[in-house]
Amino acid sequence: MAYKILEKEEIAPSVHRMVIDAPDVAKAAKAGQFIILRINEKGERVPLTIADFEKENGTVTVIFQEMGKTTKQLAKLSAGEFLEDFVGPLGTPSDVEKLGTVILVGGGVGVAPAYPQAKAYSKAGNKVISIIGARNKDLLILEDEMKNASSELYIATDDGSKGHHGFVTDIMKQILDSGEKVARVVIIGPPIMMKVGTGVASPYDVEILVSLNSIMVDGTGMCGGCRVTVDGKTRFTCVDGPEFDARKVDFVELMNRLAMYRGEETKAVEKYDEECRCGLH
């Protein structure tokens, strides 16, 4: 069993878009879900959110940033090559219905999972206000796609190289302050951004959802590695999530759990880079 890579491109420095031939996954996929892939027999199982899917063509798009060994290795693969495993769709789909106005906040590669949501909320008849951001304009992804999928699109960059000079959450606050009646805010991005964003949106009478990215192995509720405390209870991100009521999430615990293998990861990356320099990869 192998899954063919149909397209592969670098859409921002160290950020890659990959289209995979996976008809079963594409057919069943819904906004808010993710997949787990494994490059080869010795590879680890890595969860990635679904950035797009086409049921007719049987393709699933993932977008990833080079971070650890596996994503660096993944970045080296080209169209025409194969992945050993590609399992999904995983996670409970987003509860998309007609609510009125929905704000989608996407930071960094978090814009990737926000994109199918923007499409789904728009299709359900909502006014979708999307706010996307990155450290600088070169790292900004899916700008055109998000523009097409949304009623309004705002951009923020940390260095001010494009759009608002500052954070996505600044724009979110401005909209919430403007008196626009917003039913739901969905914040997807690095955990610290989701934590800050939740804090900013909390005083408003609006539903806030975040999509969490935990460390997991199987993605089906079996290992329990992705556990997160929501409303004082232990929940599994893979089956109970990945979306949760942001006000109830213990972000400190989440961030600490994500750091669990940081030391080992750094070592693995150093070893991999060294081997690449020696021409072993």
Partner 1 sequence: MQELNGEKTSKVKKERTPMPEQPAEERKKNFNEVALGYAKEDALAEASRCLSCKEPKCVEGCPVNVDIPGFIKLVCEEDFSGAIEKIKGTNTLPAICGRVCPQETQCEALCVLGKKGQPVAIGRLERFCADYERKQGVKVPEIPEPTGKKVAVVGSGPAGLTAAADLAKLGHKVTVFESLHKAGGVLSYGIPEFRLPKEIVRQEVEYIEQLGVEFKPNYIIGRIKTLDELCDEFDAIFLGTGAGLPSFMGIPGENFNGVYSANEFLTRVNLMKAYDSEYDTRVRLGKHVVVVGGGNVAMDAARSALRLGADEVSIVYRRGEDEMPARREEIEHAKEEGITFRLLTNPVRILGDEKFNVTAVECIKMELGEPDKSGRRSPVPVEGSEFTIPADVVVIAIGTSPNPMIFKGSEGLDQNKRGTVIADEETGATSKCGVFAGGDVVTGAATVISAMGAGKKAAKAIDEYLKEQ
Chain residues that interact with partner 1, rule: CB under 8 A? 1, 24-25, 27-28, 38, 42-45, 69-70, 84-90, 217-218, 220-225, 227-229, 234, 239, 253, 256-257, 259-261, 264-265, 268
Tell me whether residue 207 or residue 218 sits nearer to partner 1 (CB atom): 218
Smallest gap from residue 233 Cβ to partner 1 (A): 9
Smallest gap from residue 175 Cβ to partner 1 (A): 34
Smallest gap from residue 24 Cβ to partner 1 (A): 5
Smallest gap from residue 12 Cβ to partner 1 (A): 25
Question: Between the CA of residue 30 and those of 9, 113, 119, 122, 276, what are the distances in Å?
Answer: 23, 11, 11, 14, 37
The closest alpha carbon to 31, from 60, 70, 73, belongs to 60
Tell me whether residue 25 or residue 194 sits nearer to partner 1 (CB atom): 25
- 8 Å CB contact between 242 and 219: no
Tell me whether residue 31 or residue 140 sits nearer to partner 1 (CB atom): 31
Element (H, E) at 133: strand 127-134
276 labeled part of a ligand binding site: no
278 labeled part of a ligand binding site: no
Helix and strand counts by DSSP (H, E) for the chain: 9, 16
65 labeled part of a ligand binding site: yes
Tell me whether residue 183 or residue 268 sits nearer to partner 1 (CB atom): 268
- 8 Å CB contact between 61 and 53: yes
- 8 Å CB contact between 162 and 171: no
Tell me whether residue 52 or residue 145 sits nearer to partner 1 (CB atom): 52
Tell me whether residue 160 or residue 224 sits nearer to partner 1 (CB atom): 224
What SS3 state is found at 146?
helix
Structure tokens at 1: 């069993």
Smallest gap from residue 96 Cβ to partner 1 (A): 17
Smallest gap from residue 58 Cβ to partner 1 (A): 12
The number of beta carbons lying within 10 Å of the beta carbon of residue 159 is: 12
Beta-strand relationship, 184-188 and 152-157: unpaired
Question: Between the CA of residue 7 and those of 2, 71, 119, 189, what are the distances in Å?
Answer: 15, 16, 22, 24
Strand partners, 49: 34
* Residues making up the binding site: 63-65, 223, 226, 238
